[in-house]
Structure 1
Amino acid sequence: MVVADSGPLIALARLELLRLLPSHFDEVLVPDEVFAECTIQPQRLGARAILAARESGLFECVAVTGTAQFAADHLLGRGEAAALILARDRACPALVDERKGRRVAQQLGIPVVGTVGILLAARQAGNVDALSPLFDALAAFGYRVPADLMREALRRAGEL
């Protein structure tokens, strides 16, 4: 089981790789706040794929309470707060990319995986051919991946 935040969902949707999630996790939960963030503008790149993924049962949307206070306490957005609350409550990893969210998760003892981790696992399992073009596509979308993280993933994938 994993709880997804909006950043990784959008990144994987834009790459047309949401299908990778069920191959790595038996259950994917998405807080209602995160789903709303991802689909509030259905014409945006990735939003339609996320809508279709929900309709196909790729993930389950879950209501989360207490997000406003948690967000204020930790200086997070409501979607990210909802993802961390749900991951904490379900004792499962959170799929989060944003540095601040990852730091709060670590402080709370919540295991974290990110988009790069999903892509690397997919590469190692043979579910994607190469990471480099995926990182190029993310950069073209304006999705920032730290250079050191990208190099390490490429090294582990045998692409460096």
Structure 2
Amino acid sequence: MLKVVSNTTPIISFLKLNRLDLLKDLYNQIYIPHAVYQEIEAGKTKEYYKDLAKISWVNIVEINDEHAIKYFLDLDLGEAEAIVLATELKADLIIIDEKLGRFHAKHANLKLTGTIGVLLKAKTKGLIAELKPLLNQLTNNKVWISESLKNVILRKAGEL
């Protein structure tokens, strides 16, 4: 079974789409560090909020090496813990969207994807019929995706 770690932003994006199930359908289970859980919990008043602790296939894990966080001073705590956790678990994949977080994940030799990569995989596997409505829903929910990137993604998905 794949070990997949997620950062906060992708989870929030899937919550906003009401499609957290895609993570379960693609990966069976995901791991998140405690800091990511706390970042999600900080949004309890949001309409899309779900308590991840009540979802059986979401594993909330404490990192072992808290000192490793100091190597990621330019990242928020959730991103830093996600990278440390992925390294500790020898994860097969980390789901992370932020550019600086992706930079650090690559330099930690982690295989990575982001929200859009997961959506493309879901379309390839037939879990979603169309990407365009989901991308529009994300941008309508204050998730920034440039028009040029949208077009590249839609071409890749065969929707342009």
TM-score (norm 1): 0.89
Cross-structure match for 1:58: 57
Percentage of pairs with the same residue: 27
Contact 2:7 2:32 in 1 (8 A): yes
How far apart, in 1, do the equivalents of 2:58 and 2:42 lie? 18
Contact 2:69 2:84 in 1 (8 A): no
The equivalent position to 1:35 in structure 2, one of 34, 37, 50, is 37
Say whether residues 1:76 and 2:109 are aligned partners.
no
Say whether residues 1:156 and 2:156 are aligned partners.
yes
Kindly state the Cα deviation for residue 147 of structure 1 after the two structures are TM-superposed: 3.8
Cross-structure match for 1:13: 15
1 or 2, which has the higher helix percentage?
Answer: 1
Give 1:64-143 correspondences, 5 Å limit: 64=63, 65-66=66-67, 68-72=69-73, 75-92=74-91, 93-143=93-143
Query: How many residues were matched structurally?
Result: 155
Kindly state the Cα deviation for residue 66 of structure 1 after the two structures are TM-superposed: 3.0
How far apart, in 1, do the equivalents of 2:49 and 2:35 lie? 14
Q: CA RMSD in A?
A: 1.5
How far apart, in 1, do the equivalents of 2:132 and 2:121 lie? 14
**Runs of 4+ in structure 1 over 4 Å off:** none
Q: Name the aligned partner's letter for residue 71 of structure 1.
A: F
Contact 1:3 1:87 in 2 (8 A): yes
Cross-structure match for 1:46: 48
Contact 1:123 1:131 in 2 (8 A): yes
Instruction: Please list every run of 5 or more consecutive structure 2 residues that lacks an aligned counterpart in the other structure.
Output: none
Instruction: Please list every run of 5 or more consecutive structure 1 residues that lacks an aligned counterpart in the other structure.
Output: none
Contact 2:10 2:95 in 1 (8 A): yes
How far apart, in 1, do the equivalents of 2:146 and 2:46 lie? 24
How far apart, in 2, do the equivalents of 1:14 and 1:139 lie? 10
